[in-house]
């Protein structure tokens, strides 16, 4: 009888040790999974915040570009050729630095991605660069064709910018798990 009680005690002890070992492993796995999940969530949050800042800078540079190009309305309202050329010259002088800032912001977007937003940012930059020489061509000219080319390039820039904004917003959206 003493042997059977001892056997039951040993068996109970071994069962408790086995259960404790299994529980400890499961707890360690759960803690590791939680740590990985938390780490991934933090990395995604940081990535989203970095992208938001980068996209915001690109949008700010594009807005500065818009502020220059919108002055074309003042040019249109002016009737004297010399005054028009003066306004156009000031626009042309101001547009260069806005494109330079856009170049810098575009490089940041290219680093932060994703690829479709990076490509859209590059397209915005290229369309802005297309507007610049067409603006210069308006100085001293009265050609309707030159103005149409400028207006078309501006519309292309605006459309590229709207596309960039849409893609940037998609890249920043938080997607629900399982959705």
119 token code pair: 């490509």
0.95 exceeded by pTM: no
- Taking only the tens place, the pLDDT of each residue in 117-165 is 999 999 999 999 999 999 999 998 777 899 899 999 999 999 999 999 9
Hey, where are the domains in the chain?
Answer: 50-172
**C-alpha closest to that of 62 among 27, 29, 99, 89:** 99
Percent of the chain with pLDDT over 90: 54
Answer yes or no: is pLDDT of 177 > 90: no
- H helix runs in 70-80, sequence order: 72-77
Alpha-carbon distances, residue 2 vs 5, 7, 8, 65, 92 (angstroms)? 5, 9, 10, 94, 103
Predicted pLDDT of residue 179: 44
- Taking only the tens place, the pLDDT of each residue in 81-121 is 899 899 999 999 999 999 999 999 999 999 888 999 999 99
**C-alpha closest to that of 120 among 167, 173, 53:** 167
Predicted pLDDT of residue 79: 86
Give the number of other Cβ atoms within 10 Å of residue 106's Cβ: 25
Q: How many CA atoms lie within 13 A of 8 on its CB side?
A: 4
């Amino acid at each position: 009888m003493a042997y059977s009680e001892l056997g039951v005690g040993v068996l109970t002890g071994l069962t408790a040790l086995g259960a404790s070992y299994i529980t400890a492993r499961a707890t360690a796995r759960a803690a590791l999974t939680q740590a990985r999940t938390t780490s991934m969530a933090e990395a995604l949050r940081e990535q989203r915040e970095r992208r938001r800042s980068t996209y915001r800078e690109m949008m700010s540079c594009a807005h500065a570009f818009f502020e220059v190009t919108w002055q074309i309305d003042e040019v249109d309202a002016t009737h004297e050729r010399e005054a028009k050329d003066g306004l156009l010259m000031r626009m042309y002088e101001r547009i260069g630095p806005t494109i330079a800032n856009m170049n810098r912001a575009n490089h940041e977007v290219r680093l932060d991605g994703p690829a479709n937003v990076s490509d859209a940012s590059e397209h915005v930059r290229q369309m802005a660069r297309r507007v610049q020489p067409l603006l210069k061509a308006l100085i001293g000219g009265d050609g309707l064709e030159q103005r149409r080319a400028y207006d078309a390039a501006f519309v292309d820039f605006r459309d590229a910018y709207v596309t960039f904004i849409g893609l940037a917003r998609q890249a920043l959206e938080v997607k629900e798990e399982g959705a």
